[in-house]
Structure 1
């Protein structure tokens, strides 16, 4: 009986090794599923939600690839490489969407969008940051009644403003030094969430600016209303035959299906020399994503794009320079 003991221990150890290796491979394959399920966004809100994390999938694919190479798992190497390249080409597609162009205007038009966050207590620093940016058009999101007094320096600096601060986390305020011809607050979805539309004059040419904050698509109903809001904004832009700028918190990454539908329906584009994939939300979290954007239409292009510093909000500001 003593002679039979060693083989039994060897078999047990071999089984545990195989079991551990198989478990790791299952985890590795599962970690790659987001890449492919996220590509099915048009077929369901859960799939589109998974599409937002392309930057994270690149890291995961690289780790799985290293594991597969070390373990000499040929199939897993192949799947990891294809997944890595798939995510990389999607992100690379937003790296540069416009060429450097000679401006037809004396100076670029500066536009800032900043979700200051309703619960942000650092009002002074946030407003000083906005003032320092010296943008021609400023769109602030999540401004409620607690922000009303803090916004006074912007009212002094800018001759034109539209403030809609009675909507909690979806309050908006827009400020501009451009001549304002008209303005209105449009409300979308069953929740009647506001967007601000400014009809401006930019060096003698009509310019429409829309500031928007879309609802987060974190459930079946909210995802439906999110797509509906983007669709309605797209319909407005599609009906404007001229220069348009849409800016704000879209709760949409450049590669999700909701953003694809908005751009296809409206004719809006990122058209940016600088990449639009750097995250603007959750920079202290592993799930950081780019959801704050400036899109343009009608011969405009973004020649410079700057993400602001941390100012007490979970979002960073986005300031762009736009030329014709």
Structure 2
């Protein structure tokens, strides 16, 4: 009888090890495929979607490497090759996410000025989720943080009406209530001028261009963006999204003013498109050297990545930046306070374009315009 029990335990242990080995190899294959696929120069959604989970793929590859080495690896050529692939994946993904860890050097320097300085500008960006009805949660955040600028995305006329109690504090507004999940509202305590609503590639997708007057009297160019994501229910590829992002980058690169670009890019901070945007625009990313600030998806802790962004010119330094708690949306709000310090702008190094940057930018924009023409009547213009 004891022998049978011992044999049963050994059999159970063997089965568990076999299951764990199969699971380990399956996860490893997912990590390898998820790393290799986005290396191909295709814009289809099922390729570009793998740009998003860099951190998750890194964890998968690292965990698989450790488990495979511990439980399954044997001194065979096939085993060594598999481990080598996993090691390459771990290193490659680590390189991608490293800038957004506290181990990296910050791109935006921390200000040393007084917190009450009149040149500071605070901004809250929130994709509210159009169907979300927890209006009081957002209003609570606004009351707590008192941002100078409140930029809302996916906001419709219902949201516009629900936020009326806040309007006494935000006399300057740009309101674009839409029921297609691409509405946009910009509320400001500070004066605005040249309030423009642009439709860069689609008559359904607005973006905002305006100028904000700081309490010091200085004017800052502010852009609000929210392009379509590359998912089957929205766009089958990323061409229009990429083109819209780069179009904004090219436009602000010629600005004579300090610049802030904010919104839901539907693209992650480490993607090739976002990097190209930074090179074209010369804007800084305050997350670099500080953290991921992953704002989406608020409902799934293991599947989160940074989709909501605030970029700025070298005229600014950072006072503080936070990812706020949930408001019932699938996005967390993000809050940032910047200090306008133009005399010290040369202390910060802006991303620089290389020889192929302009060619790549032009190609990206051309592909996006062609895609817009083939799928809908493009609406380039302002309102």
TM-score range, shorter chain: 0.7 to 0.9
Counterpart selection for 1:121 from 130, 133, 137: 133
Secondary structure at the counterpart of residue 193 of structure 1 = coil
Structure 1 residues 68, 162: closer, same or farther in 2, change over 3 A? Answer: same
What aligned pairs does 1:261-276 form with structure 2 within 5 A after superposition?
261-272=276-287, 275-276=290-291
Alignment partner, residue 155 of structure 1: 167
More deviation, 311-320/123-132: 123-132
Q: How many pairs does the alignment contain? A: 308
Q: How does 1:55-74 map to 2 (within 5 A)?
A: 55-70=55-70, 71-72=72-73, 73-74=79-80
Which residue of structure 2 lines up, in the alignment, with residue 279 of structure 1?
294
Determine the C-alpha separation between the residues in 1 that align with 2:23 and 2:289: 42
SS of corresponding position for 1:37: helix
| Gap change, CA 1:199 and 1:23, over 3 Å in 2 | closer
Secondary structure, aligned partner of 2:198: strand
**Equivalent residue number for residue 77 of structure 1:** 83
Q: Give 1:134's match in structure 2, choosing from 120, 136, 146.
A: 146
Note if contact 1:161-1:175 (Cα within 8 Å) is conserved in structure 2. yes
TM-superposed CA distance for 1:132, in Å, is 1.9
Distance in 2 between residues matched to 1:34 and 1:217, nearest whole Å? 16
User: Considering only aligned residues, what root-mean-square deviation do their CA atoms show, in Å?
Assistant: 2.6
Moved more, 136-145 or 281-290: 281-290
Q: Confirm or deny that 1:212 pairs with 2:222.
A: no
User: Are 2:104 and 1:98 aligned?
Assistant: no
Task: Identify the range of structure 1 (133-142 vs 253-262) with the bigger mean alpha-carbon deviation.
Answer: 253-262
* 2:11 aligned residue: none
Distance in 2 (alpha carbons) for counterparts of 1:153 and 1:277: 33
Which structure dedicates a bigger proportion of its chain to strand? 1
Structure 2 match to 1:168: 180
* Gap change, CA 1:157 and 1:61, over 3 Å in 2: same
- Note the alpha carbon deviations across 1:228-276, whole angstroms, 9 max, x for none: 2112212221221321111111101011122122222222221347635
Alpha carbons 2:323, 2:334 under 8 Å: kept:
yes
- Consecutive unaligned residues in structure 2, runs of 5 or more: 1-13, 74-78, 342-383
- C-alpha distance in 1 between matches for 2:23 and 2:117: 62
Q: CA deviation at 1:302?
A: 3.0
Structure 2 residue 272 is the aligned partner of structure 1 residue 257 = yes
